[in-house]
A and B are shown apart, each in its own frame.
Chain A
Amino acid sequence: MNSQHEAARSARASAGTPISPRITLAVAGRVLTQLRRDRRTLAMLLVLPCLLISLLWWMFDATQGSVFDRVGPALLAMLPFIIMFLVTSVTTLRERSSGTLERLLAMPMGKLDFLVGYALAFGAVAAAQSVLAVGISVGLLDLDVAGPVWLLTLVAVADAVLGTALGLFVSAFAQTEFQAVQFMPLLVIPQILLCGLFVPREQLPDVLGGVSDVLPLSYAVDAMQRLTRTSRTGEVWQDVAVVAGFALGGLALGAATLRRRTA
């Protein structure tokens, strides 16, 4: 009986704080263990970006000029965003449909514990992914980077967390994994089109330029391209801050749409 009262008291004490490090880390650790089990997904997460960036390099190998130096950084910014968006939206949806989310929400788990736990886990995967992709681009494929290479990786991680946050958010609006995947053309492809890869952002029609200015991927791509051109990092940090701000906003939206009580 005594331990019961203690548990009750500690639960009440922790109820005031929206986030508990213990639970958040438990979620992150569990997600990483699940990924470790799923060899195929892990291989896709780590190897696929390297293969794609190599493919891109190969495509432009015979062309004149340094197209790869322009397009490569954009791809480095896009890949973690797209991949983490997909992985997260499908994983959280699986968590909803399997009943584990309902069970967790009936436990002393804050919404932020859940969301930040996922963001931490996929942020860590993104860091590994980016170190590999950036390493191959710079080391093997001779991508010219004027700024610090580690900052390139940081941009990629911020970008991945952004993808995770958006993925968490849209999973609230999808009933099935099939629907969740459909959000990609809606939320991701317009960002790819308008991020400055196809048409430099300043040459876009005014309206589209305005839209491009409020899309987070534009800032991630800007940051990557700046890093390859100059060694000045001031503006890069501004871009990183914008991407991080969007990621935080996405997590907040995710928390707002994650309902403990459902119909």
Chain B
Amino acid sequence: MMKNAVEVHDLVVVRGGREVLRNLDITIGGGVTGLLGPSGCGKSTLMRALVGVQKLAGGGVRVLGEEAGSAGLRARIGYVTQASSVYDDLTVAENLLFFARVLGVDRSAVDRVVEAVDLASHRDQVVGRMSGGQRSRASLAVALLGTPGLLVLDEPTVGLDPVLRRDLWALFHRIADAGASVFVSSHVMDEAERCDRLLLMREGRIIADGSPDEIRRKTGSDDIESAFLAIVSEDAA
């Protein structure tokens, strides 16, 4: 078993002339790790760096023991971009079959992931004519096709109802229990409670790191939301 799925060392990313990530040091182990922070703080940028599609200005990222973005890694990472990245003019099943062929996984995986995101009754529907939540589930299903050692999910549950969110988080934990590391960003504070470990990010830096319990205890708050606000105002001061 690998010690850390992700090791980020002194990472600097510049986007649009601004330093978006500043000398970031992070390790991500097993379980479900949540990444929380205000809009524009750099969550998506960090995720792009992990999957190897972000240009770096300094530092390094190692994933599953290899340099992030190396060819051997690409089949071992499942990635969901923030905007649902599936083909609007294809059906759910056609989308999944295509990505399954790219990944070289058996087509039986398609049925499995369609069930997992609860889209079995929509599998032959064209994605462009589905609701926002259905589309983002189709996009999530793509990331579940292989048996990735690391799942990077950028706000995968935005716009979904509480029941479905609960089911998906249960799925993330099952995947983590099976040995993969799951890294999820979120805006929704009640989802933070469902993470094994939380990273709070602000302006490209990590300002708190620990289990939900630890973070609440440290700030003496009852819920993550007020803990988060306390930490942010302390950091801003």
Chain A residues within 8 Å of B, Cβ to Cβ: 1, 3-4, 7-8, 10-12, 15, 22-23, 25-27, 29-30, 33-34, 37-38, 98-100, 102-109, 260-263
Complex interface: chain A residues within 8 A of B70 (CB) = 15
Chain B residues within 8 Å of A, Cβ to Cβ: 14-16, 48, 51-56, 69-77, 79, 81-90, 94, 98-99, 101-105, 126, 142, 146-149, 179
Q: What would 22 A/B residue contacts be, using CB atoms closer than 8 Å?
A: A7-B104, A8-B76, A11-B73, A11-B75, A15-B72, A23-B101, A25-B101, A26-B101, A29-B101, A30-B87, A37-B89, A98-B85, A98-B87, A99-B81, A99-B85, A105-B53, A106-B51, A108-B74, A108-B102, A261-B55, A261-B56, A262-B53
Contact of A108 among B90, B98, B103 (CB under 8 A): B103
Complex interface: chain A residues within 8 A of B149 (CB) = 4, 8
Assuming A8-B149, A29-B101, what are 18 further A-B pairs, CB within 8 angstroms? A7-B147, A8-B75, A10-B75, A11-B71, A11-B73, A11-B76, A26-B101, A33-B94, A38-B89, A98-B88, A104-B102, A105-B53, A108-B104, A109-B102, A261-B53, A261-B56, A262-B53, A263-B16
**Known contacts A107-B99, A263-B15: A37-B142 contact under CB 8 Å:** no
CB-based contact B85/A23 at 8 Å: no
Contact of B72 among A8, A100, A102, A263 (CB under 8 A): A8
Complex interface: chain B residues within 8 A of A15 (CB) = 70-72
Complex interface: chain A residues within 8 A of B77 (CB) = 106
CB-based contact B79/A103 at 8 Å: yes
B180 to chain A, nearest CB (A): 8
Smallest CB-CB A-B distances: 3 pairs: A15-B71, A99-B85, A11-B75
